[in-house]
Amino acid sequence: MLLNVATLLALLVLLYALRKDIYNTIDNLGRVYAAALLLLIPIEIWNYDAQTRLYRELFRLVGNKLSYRFLYETSLELNFINNVFPSIGLTGISYFGVRMRSSEITAGKAAVVQLLKLVMVYVSFEILLLFGVLCMALFGDVNGLIILVASSITTLMVVGTVVFVSIAGSEKRINAAYDFVAKLISIVIRTVRPGHTGKVRLQAGRGIVEELHKNYRLIQDNYKQLKWALLWAGLANLSEVLAIYVVFVAFGHWVNIGAVILAYAVANFAGTISVLPGGVGIYEALMTGVLAVAGVPIGLTLPVTIMYRVLNSIIQLPPGYYFYHRTLHASPSGVSDGRS
């Protein structure tokens, strides 16, 4: 509740600070090409199609075949949860494990699939980011700050991927990491709730961690088959960038797509680690700032960013809420089985 209150206050402050630009955005709505905005619907359908196929491919590698419809609906549910609940995406990972129980998928297997999905998304985005910098070099001005931002994001993604592979690939290291996180949680609990022992039952999650390691090694032994997973992850990223670009087109501007790719990378990276739901406030500020640095007028970037976020939420959140609500209120026997 505290985080949601903080989110609301941050959003109100942002709206007040940008009130003049928002008024200008409303005034310019009459000049927006509505037909171009309709392209957002098929693009978002494509995005979830790519995410669904990515999940199916990863589950196939660990020996499970799940139905397309089940995973598509689950993807919509996860998007709703990650955009509504303030948890740095951890709520989505937990919910994914619970959701997979209806298909007799263990928590460890669900966890490794979800984590590998994130790795595939980040690795594929490194390729897209390189393409974006190249576009800016060919069709725009690339200053030192742009190079610094792009290289910093790439470095963080590479380091994060290497750390994950190093930890998940070793039983000793993954257990050590689990012990470290458990102790860290205990410290946080004792800090937030004085007088509480903060004791975490280490053995309760030990089996899940060991299974996660086992399933990761199974995929590692078949790493050559990850090419399809990487392809679907790349298409998911590409569709998101195109969704933003369509809004620019609707405003009558064909901006450098490299700038859009870079701004999307910065905003999403910050949104991923933000505790605020959907990275609200942070996402908009960073997207606008990076686009401005890349040479796109702020009078254009702000209305485009706000419209993209609003329309994207209108398209995605209602069906996500519907499937989440249906799952939440279904009886154990009524939860859809994803096996095919």
Nearest CA-CA partner of 255 in 267, 242, 265, 273? 242
Q: What are phi and psi of 332, to 5 degrees?
A: -50, -35
Secondary structure letter of residue 275 according to DSSP: S
Query: Phi then psi for 295, rounded to 5 degrees?
Result: 105, 5
Given CA atoms 244, 249, 251, 254 in this order, what sign does their dihedral have?
positive
| 3-state SS assignment for residue 64 | coil
How is 175-237 classified by DSSP, letter by letter?
HHHHHHHHHHHHHHHHHHSTT------HHHHHHHHHHHHHHHHHHHTTGGGGHHHHHHHHHHH
Distance in Å from the first CA to the final CA of the chain: 40
Where do the structural domains in the chain lie, given as residue ranges?
21-315
Q: How many CB atoms lie within 10 A of CB 177?
A: 16
* Cα separations in angstroms, 249 against 115, 241, 255: 34, 13, 8
Q: With beta carbons less than 8 A apart as the criterion, state whether 271 and 309 touch.
A: no
Q: Nearest to residue 297, comparing CAs of 262, 240, 259? A: 259
Residues 6+ away with beta carbon under 8 Å from 133 = 142, 146, 147, 150, 258, 262
Q: Which residues contact 116 (CB under 8 A, 6 or more apart)?
A: 58, 216, 219, 229
- Residue-level pLDDT, tens digit, the chain, 340 residues: 565 566 567 667 766 776 776 676 666 666 778 788 889 999 999 999 999 999 999 898 888 889 999 999 999 998 888 777 755 556 677 788 888 887 778 877 888 888 888 888 888 888 888 888 788 777 766 666 667 777 777 777 778 778 877 887 777 888 788 778 878 877 777 777 777 665 666 666 677 777 777 777 777 777 777 889 889 999 999 999 999 999 989 888 888 888 888 888 877 776 665 555 556 667 777 787 778 777 787 777 878 888 888 888 888 889 988 998 888 877 454 455 566 5
220 touches 169 (CB < 8 A): yes
Cα separation, 129 vs 161, whole angstroms: 16
